[in-house]
Amino acid sequence: MSNFVDSAQLHAKAGDGGAGCVSFRREAHVAKGGPDGGDGGRGGDVWLVADTNQASLLGFRDHPFRRATDGQHGTSKRQHGARGKDVFVNVPLGTMVYDQDGEMLVDLKGPGDRWRAAEGGLGGQGNARFLSNHRRAPAFAEQGEAGEEHWFNLELKLEADVALIGFPNVGKSTLIARVSAARPKIADYPFTTLVPNLGVVRVGERSARREAATEFVMADIPGLIEGAATGRGLGHDFLRHVERARVLCVLLDLSELAPMEPEEQLEILLRELGDYQADLLERPRVVVGSKGDVAATEVQGVRTISAITGEGVDELMAQLALLVVEERTHEADELEHEIVVHKPLADDISVHQASPNSWVIEGRPALRAVRFQDLTDDEALAEIVRRLRALGVDRMLTRAGVRDGDTVNIGPLSFEWWRDEDGAGLDRGDHHRATRRERLARHGRLDLGDDDD
């Protein structure tokens, strides 16, 4: 089984937030100690990090699950729970992340680039947080928020200096095996190579002055066929690894067993590259005649090599090394890479009608507003009303067309929309509090309508 994997799945589960604590201070000679419940700790995040030491997505093939730790619960004496530990998942440069609908979310193409795949849940606030002049003994606290949980599809586009391109069985694997330590499968039938092979090529020997030799990464791309740009023969799976190569090396089969004349091979290969991505034709490229030891023809102006005998190979590697150095210098002049940290945008609140008399409010801010441990506590409900009004949920419902008697659902909370002659909206004034509490106890309703003023 190959050790190179260029597509995989990831299940990222962030840590859950710890629950806030309901506690009251108990000390000698203190008749009524105030609330002292601590906050829960935040859950850990799951991050993807582009790492130059990773070469493929092999680590996700059999083990796609990555989970951060949960935050700890708060305790008495205002002691806050510990934060969950973040998980940093290393992926190769050039890893692209897609959601389950096929939309690309991020492209981690620079060393050290990071993306938060799942955000940890917020820790719940302890009852000490809800102390106020009007609320001297709050007996409620927040639940910890559940951490995000998502499935992603990962795809890898190789970051190679040189990509070897040619028809099946043209000698690409033999060449990369000769000039590097890569040991791809080599056989005398087409499509021997089914996944890309990477090899590090060193050109030039270290001298007594310890001058560094030029090194570059060469990728052996599985053989292309006519129609590859439209997906024929897994063409898209193979061609995507060419997209980021600095230099293209096109091999033409000169032997008697070649499927067609070298000029026709070149025409088809360049057409497929251009159809897949037009700017690939603008990349520096070297066209080479392969299998020179059994060549049945020659192409004017094209270098001939033999990976079996070594004929012309050193000269070809020197030419490729020169082009790679030129491209690296050009890129360095244009841009000095800075580490990019990608964070998904915050969720917005949305309202949609689930049925003729039922509405659902979605979005992380709204769910956070109702995450209390006891939804029957009168003071907790008052706090929920204040938060929802601050988020503008009442106005959103009105604009959506909510009517008296409709049911509104926000996470675990379900309430009935209403108005009456005493007032409407989220006004928690003293003259409404008593009637509102009686109505809640009698009908299980929560005041969440529009203000008249």
- Residue environment code for 190-213, b if the CB has 16+ CB neighbours within 10 A, otherwise e: eebbebbbbbebbbeeeeeeeeee
Task: Establish if 199 belongs to a structural domain.
Answer: yes
Give CA–CA dist 325/216, Å, rounded: 9
Task: Establish if 343 belongs to a structural domain.
Answer: no
Domain co-membership, 263 together with 115: no
Q: At 4, phi and psi to the nearest 5?
A: -105, 125
Please, where are the H alpha helices in 277-377?
Answer: 313-334, 364-369
Would the CA dihedral through 202, 208, 210, 211 be positive or negative? negative
Give the range of the structural domain holding residue 278, as residue numbers without chain letter. 162-334
Using an 8 Å Cβ cutoff, are 369 and 146 in contact? no
Amino acid 427: pLDDT? 39
Using an 8 Å Cβ cutoff, are 24 and 36 in contact? yes
Q: Which of 115, 130, 156 is the last residue of a domain?
A: 156
Amino acid in position 383: E
Task: Establish if 339 belongs to a structural domain.
Answer: no
Task: Establish if 340 belongs to a structural domain.
Answer: no
Per-residue pLDDT of 267-304, as tens digits, reads: 999 988 888 888 899 999 999 999 988 888 888 889 99
Using an 8 Å Cβ cutoff, are 416 and 406 in contact? yes
Give CA–CA dist 404/364, Å, rounded: 26
Amino acid 153: pLDDT? 96
Using an 8 Å Cβ cutoff, are 75 and 38 in contact? yes
Amino acid 98: pLDDT? 94
**The CATH number of the domain where 419 resides is what?**
3.30.300.350
**The CATH number of the domain where 264 resides is what?**
3.40.50.300
Using an 8 Å Cβ cutoff, are 80 and 18 in contact? no
Q: Which of 419, 411, 425, 432 is nearest to 364 (CA)?
A: 411
Judged on CB neighbours under 10 Å (0-12, 13-18, 19+), 409 is middle
Q: Which two tokens stand for residue 384?
A: 């929920």
Per-residue pLDDT of 371-400, as tens digits, reads: 888 888 888 888 888 888 888 888 888 888
Domain count, the chain: 3
Q: Which of 156, 187, 211 is the last residue of a domain?
A: 156
Task: Establish if 344 belongs to a structural domain.
Answer: no
Collect all residues with Cβ–Cβ distance below 8 Å to 269 and sequence separation of at least 6. Answer: 165, 166, 167, 224, 250
Task: Establish if 341 belongs to a structural domain.
Answer: no
Domain co-membership, 152 together with 170: no
Q: Which of 122, 156, 190 is the last residue of a domain?
A: 156
- Tell me if the pTM is above 0.75: no
Amino acid 230: pLDDT? 53
Domain co-membership, 381 together with 327: no
Which residue ranges in the chain fall short of pLDDT 50?
A: 1-2, 187-193, 207-211, 233-235, 421, 423-444, 451-453
Domain co-membership, 407 together with 262: no
Q: In degrees to the nearest 10, what's the CA dihedral of 270, 273, 278, 282?
A: -60
Amino acid 243: pLDDT? 84
Per-residue pLDDT of 393-447, as tens digits, reads: 888 888 888 888 889 899 888 888 876 545 444 433 433 444 444 444 334 455 5
Amino acid 334: pLDDT? 62
